[in-house]
A and B are shown apart, each in its own frame.
Chain A
């Protein structure tokens, strides 16, 4: 779409269905159907009409359609109102609009504190019995996600 303006972006039109792994070093907009994984070094836009059954490994992604698979973004995941995500997400930053349907595990912590390091921080002020229990809880937090 932007090919005329210089910044190249691949677009998968709504009527297109692809089976297999899609790799790109640039940005891509998906409006069609993808049965397979998507790997992009650039930014990915998943349009309202898009359906993806596979994992996404991208720099950043804006989801407005349906994704059935895990999303791993180096930078940012944005879920727009119409987004339907069934899978785990992992990113540095996250923005979710009201109306999103999402079932899965989220591992997004923009404050950058590693999950294990958090227990130290949270047990520091140690207010009353409540926070002590919290500190104990924090120790198991990595297990929380390991459980599943």
Chain B
């Protein structure tokens, strides 16, 4: 969490504020009128010797947003709890959630949802950009517009979860029993699946990928294992894009 009390970082907002204050803009004038202190300018920055608080300059953090209504992808900066999709004008909640108990009501966000080991989803719909599954999905639906991470102790019915990308962390050993289709797949643990990927399948060092794998791109980093029937055809990437229709179907 950044400390906004002492500004040592220049982000978009502080830069803008500095410009406005430097200009002695109309906005300041209107503020003065409101506060009925015509001779005083906002004290805090003016008291500061110029450049004192500037230690380094960083780019403001960008957040990738995927609209769960229309699928439009865009980036925002800043920390607002919600944003509006530029395409469909849907109000999108941006907050991240960590679920530790039983979730029975719907949860829709373009942020991250972490279902911890003690948590479960029961008859609820969860829509999120990133979903870390370590708990149990008993019933309901989980729709992930971005990355689904399946933790080592996750328990779920495959058909209840759809996701665009899949990540298997190092400690996980996952078997997908039905045909699974994703865009990018990153394997750091063990994955056995009948898998189709339209993007890149990445096998990290220490990981093991097994099963029947079809995709456009495969990257195996030194130390990664592949024990599978493979059809990797970069030239047919477009074909794969066209019939990617069914996302992440998994039946336990």
Contacts of B235 in A (CB 8 A): 101
Inter-chain contacts of B190 with A (CB < 8 A): 122
Can you name the residue of chain A whose Cβ is closest to the Cβ of B212?
A144
CB-based contact B152/A100 at 8 Å: no
- Residue A48 at the B interface, CB < 8 A? no
In which size bucket is the chain B interface? 35 or more
Give Cα A108 to B228, complex, Å.
Answer: 9
Tell whether, in the assembled complex, residue B221 and residue A125 are in contact, meaning their CB atoms are under 8 Å apart. no
Majority secondary structure of chain B interface residues (helix, strand, loop or mixed): strand
Within 8 A of B (CB), among A96-148: 96-111, 115, 118, 122, 125, 127-131, 133-134, 137-138, 141, 144-145, 148
Contact of A130 with B233 at beta-carbon distance under 8 Å, contacts A105-B228, A109-B208 already known: no
A and B contact pairs by CB, cutoff 8 A, 10 listed: A93-B222, A97-B219, A98-B218, A100-B218, A101-B232, A105-B230, A128-B155, A130-B175, A131-B175, A144-B229
CA distance A129 to B159 in the complex (A): 14
The chain B residue sitting closest to A136, CB to CB, is B175
**B173 and A131: CB pair below 8 A?**
yes
A94-B224, A98-B217, A127-B155 as given contacts; A134 in contact with B173, CB under 8 Å:
yes
- Partner among A104, A109, A122, A141 whose Cβ is within 8 Å of the Cβ of B173: A122
The chain A residue with its CB closest to the CB of B210 is A141
CB distance from A96 to the nearest CB of B (A): 4
